Amino acid sequence: MDYNTNNNYSTTSYSAGGGGGGGGFMPGSQNASDSPSGGKRSYGKDTLRPCTIKQLHDAIHPNPDAEYFLIDGSETTQITFVGQVRAISMQTTNVTYKLDDGTGIMEVKQWIDAEQQSGDDGGDGGGQERKEKEKVVEQGYVRVWGRLKAFNNKRHVGANIIRPIKDFNEIQYHLLEATVVHLHFTRGPPGELNDNSKGGAQNMNGNGGAYDAGDMGGVQKLPAGTSAAARKVYHTIANTPQSHEGLHVQQIAQTGGMEIGEVLRAGEELVGLGAIYTTVDEQTWALLDVN
């Protein structure tokens, strides 16, 4: 993945039978519109963003004529997601798939290219054999590359490529990447975590609240509104020598001069903030270092 300095997601790469790099441009993108006739596109500005179906439903369409949507406030043209095929509907000019990725359901339309279909059927039959190997089936998992469309207040994806998933680890890889990209746009690039001069600390909050610049450098900043007890527990863990297993609640209480109950409540708050995590048991904590 690559992100430019303007906070725009610019490119990602996948194996899609010959396409998938260069900012999301795909072979066959000339058929990306809602009809086989296509339309005039400005592909130099195209991006490819991994996302979930829920993000597609929540995406903002600036105006009916816009050829892009806004996801997390970022202009998005081409998208990719994975899902399970719930239904397949064959039409004269297109195939409609109903896909479910656990966050929502989306219709995906792939237009039938008569010339390409004729080419696959010709020759020594090799094209047909490859087509059968890549056949999309109901209840199978697929990856989709295409564009989000809106027609009569209903959304669907116009697909450039639909490829069956053979390695199911790809499902988890995709969800992780979609999460990373979402956090990039909602909380800022990783490099901005400790760069308060560029407003990175504020971006990481996600809610627009400022972070306390008094926290230790080199570890995660705590958001404004964090309780005094949570800050004390956090700093105790950060400043106390420890193994990779972290510190037990009793040691934190003893070192910080706090009551066990107070430490437990503060620890629950810090876990909820993503500042610490449990290690060998529920009462042994370590800092979540974001560097």
194 domain residue, yes or no: no
- Domain residue limits at 143: 2-187
| Same domain, yes or no: 149 and 32 | yes
Quickly count: other Cβ atoms within 10 Å of residue 126's Cβ. Answer: 10
Q: Is 194 helix (H, G, I), strand (E, B) or coil?
A: coil
Strand pairing category for 141-151 and 154-164 = antiparallel
Same domain (yes/no): 92, 164: yes
Structural domain count of the chain:
2
Residue 103 belongs to a domain: yes
Mean of pLDDT values over 147-163: 91
- Domain identity same for 153 and 255: no
CB 139 within 8 A of CB 131: no
| Kind of pairing between the strands at 69-71 and 74-76 | antiparallel
74 strand-pairing partners? 71
| pLDDT higher than threshold 90 for residue 115 | no
Is there a domain that residue 102 lies in?
yes
Q: Which residues of 178-200 are buried (b: 16+ CB within 10 A; e: fewer)?
A: beebbebbebbbeebbbeeeeeb
| 86-95, 134-143, 154-163, 182-191, range with the lowest pLDDT | 182-191
Task: Report the pLDDT value the prediction gives residue 255, as an integer from 0 to 100.
Answer: 87
- Residue 122 CA to residue 77 CA, distance in Å, equals 34
* 233 assigned to some structural domain: yes
Dig out the tokens for 177 from the structure. Answer: 């990447």
User: 114 and 40 in one domain?
Assistant: yes
pTM above 0.85, yes or no: no
The enclosing domain of 224 has a CATH number of 1.10.10.10
| Residue whose entry in the numeric block shows the structure tokens 């909050």 | 205
User: Is 162 a domain residue?
Assistant: yes
**Residue 25 maps to which CATH number?**
2.40.50.140
- Do 19 and 161 lie in a common domain? yes
Residue that terminates a domain, selected from 167, 187, 207: 187
> What pLDDT shows up at residue 53?
95
Q: Return mean pLDDT, the chain.
A: 74
Please name which of 65, 82, 220, 86 lies closest in space to residue 162, comparing C-alpha atoms. Answer: 82
Does residue 169 share a domain with residue 82? yes
- Examine the domain organization and report whether 29 and 144 are in the same domain: yes
Residues 24 and 149 in one domain: yes
- Identify whether the C-beta of residue 47 lies closer than 8 Å to the C-beta of residue 9: yes
Q: What is the mean pLDDT of residues 178-199?
A: 70
Instruction: Decide if 115 is inside a domain.
Output: yes
H or E segment and range at residue 256: helix 249-256
Strand, helix or coil at 82?
strand
What separation in angstroms does the CA of 200 have from each of 71, 194, 229?
20, 7, 25
Whether 156 and 227 share a structural domain: no
What's the mean pLDDT in 133-144?
88
Residue ending a domain, choose from 166, 187, 208: 187
Say whether both 38 and 169 belong to one domain: yes
**CA 209 from centre of chain:** 23
**Per-residue pLDDT band at 203 (split at 50, 70, 90):** very low
Q: Are residues 38 and 178 in the same domain?
A: yes
Q: Which helix (H) or strand (E) holds 147?
A: strand 141-151
192 assigned to some structural domain: no
Domain boundary among 159, 187, 215: 187
* 45: CB partners within 8 A, 6+ apart: 77
Please say if the pLDDT value at position 267 is more than 60.
Answer: yes
Residues 179 and 206 in one domain: no
